[in-house]
Structure 1
C-alpha cells in the first residue's frame, strides 16, 4: 500500500495537469481565434417577440371598440343637441304638446369624450405600427432588437399608457361628479329658443356626463317612448367606460414589456464593437482573399478611432504594403493578425526600377 499510494498520487496529478493544460490551451485558442459571433435567435428574443405580439394584439382589439363606442357617443351629442321630446302625462299617457324638453341638458361634460377619441386613435395607430415592425422582423428578429428601436418603443408606449390613464381618470371623475336628474327641477317656463324661433324647456340644473343623463332618463315614465333611445345609449356609455379599464391595463402591460426589453437587451449587448466583413468565410476565419488568410480577433473601438488612423475624416483601410503595413506591425498583438501563406511580400516599385537600371 505504501508503494501504490505515491504512484496513484503521481498519476492523479498528471491527469489533472493534462486536463488543466487542455483547458488553458482551449481557452487561449478561443481567445486567439475569436471571430465575430454569428447571430442566433435566442430564447429571450422568441419569448419577447411572442409577448409583444400578444400584448399589442390585445391593445389593438380593445382600442377599436373603445373608439367605436366613444365615436357613437360624440355623434349622439352632436345629432341631439337641438332635439327634444314631449313630456307625457302619467295618468292619461298622452304627450303634452306645450311641454317640449331638450334631449340634452344645458351643462354637459364634453372634454372626456374628445380625450377618449384621441387616445383610442393613438393606441390603434401605435399598436398597428409596432405589429407591422414585429411581423416584418419575425424571422430575423434583429431590427426590433436594436437599442434605438427598443428605446423609441419604450418612450412611445409609456406616453400612450399615460394618456390612457388620463382618459380613464377623466371618465370616472366626470361620472362620479355628475349630477342627478330630478323632474321637479325642469323650468316652469321655456328657457331656450330653437333656430326657428320655437321656445322649449332645457334642463339647466347641475353638470352631467352623457352616461348619467341617459341612464337617469330611462326611469321616469314622463319621458315616454324616448326612454328606449336613452336606454340604448346608456348601454353604449356603460360599455365604453367599462372597456377602458382593460385597455389601460393592456397599455400598461405593453409599456412594461418595452421597458423590460430595453433593460434586458442592454445587459446582453457586447462590450466590444465587432467588425463584420462582407465575405462570410472571412468572418469565420476559414476563407482567403488574394492568397491571404485573415483572422479577426478582437477590435476595440477606441483603437480604430485613433487620430493617426483617420484620413480625411474616414478610417483608412490596411493595405498590403507601404506605411500601412508597417503601422499594422506596430499595433498590439490583440488587435489584428494577418497570416500570409504561399505569397511573398510585395516589393516597392522603387526597388524594381533600380534593379532594372542595374541590369541594363
Structure 2
C-alpha cells in the first residue's frame, strides 16, 4: 500500500501527511495499571465487562488515570453539491434547520448533553456554499480541504479531554459510501443504504452517483487525502483534523457514517491513527456503516436501533465513557481505603 510520504508534494496537505505518519503510540502501561486496579477489587469476574476496558482505553489514550473532566460533543455541519442528484429525501435546507434547532436547545443532543454534563459545540461549515458536485470534479480543492482540516483542530481547545464527534449534512451518507468504496473497493450498491429514509429508487440513484464518482476519480484514489478532498465534504475534513489533533490531548468518540468515513481515510494512511477513537454505534439505516466499522476495526459501544443520531448517540456514548472513568476512580478509592484500614488494624 502506498504511504503518505509517497505523495508528499509540498502542497497544503504536507503538514497533515507528516502528522499522520508520526502519531505517538498509546500508553499501554497506563492501561495495565487500570487492569491491575480492577483486578484487586473484590467483585464477580467479568461483572463490569466492557466498562473496565473503557477505563483502560481512557488511560492508554491520555497516559493518566481515567478521568473525564471536560467532555464536549462537536457537531460539524456541511452541505454537498451531490444533493442536486436527489440522493436524499431531505432538502438541503434541513442542515441549517438542525443547526438552528440545536442552537435553541431543542434537539435531542441538547437534552443528552444536559443530562450528562457535556459541552456542545456546533460548527457551521459554510452551509450557504455546498461543496462541488463530485460527479463532475473534486468536491474540494487541496487548499480548501487542508484549511477545513485545520479548522477541525480548533475543536481540541480549552482543556477538552473527550470529544464526541458527529455531523449533519444532506448528501453526506452518499459521500461516505463513495469514500468507503474508494478505500475498500466495491461498487456504490455495496455501500449505500436508506439513510434518512430513501426509497428504492433513491437508493439506486445514490449507488449510481457513487459509481460515477469512482470512475471519474479512479486515477487519484491511492492517496487517502485525495480521496477525502475529492469525495468527501467539509464536515469530513474537519472531523479528520479533529481526530489528528486529539491524539495527544483527548480521546475521540465517533457517531455516524460520515465521521466513520473520515476516520477511515486516516486509517488508510496509518492503521494506528484511530487507536484513541471509539465508535458510539452503527446506523441501523446504513448497512455500509457497519461494514466500514468492521473494516477499520471499530466495535460499537451500543446498539439502540438508531439511524443517524445528529449528535444524540455521540452524547450518550460520552456519558457512558464518563461513567466508566467514575466507576474506576470510585472503586479504586474505596479499595485503597479498605487496604489502608486493614494495614492499620494489624
Query: Is the shorter-chain TM-score for this pair beyond 0.5, marking a shared fold?
Result: no
TM category, shorter = under 0.3
Bigger RCO (CA 8 Å, 6+ sep) = 2
With normalisation by structure 2, the TM-score equals 0.26
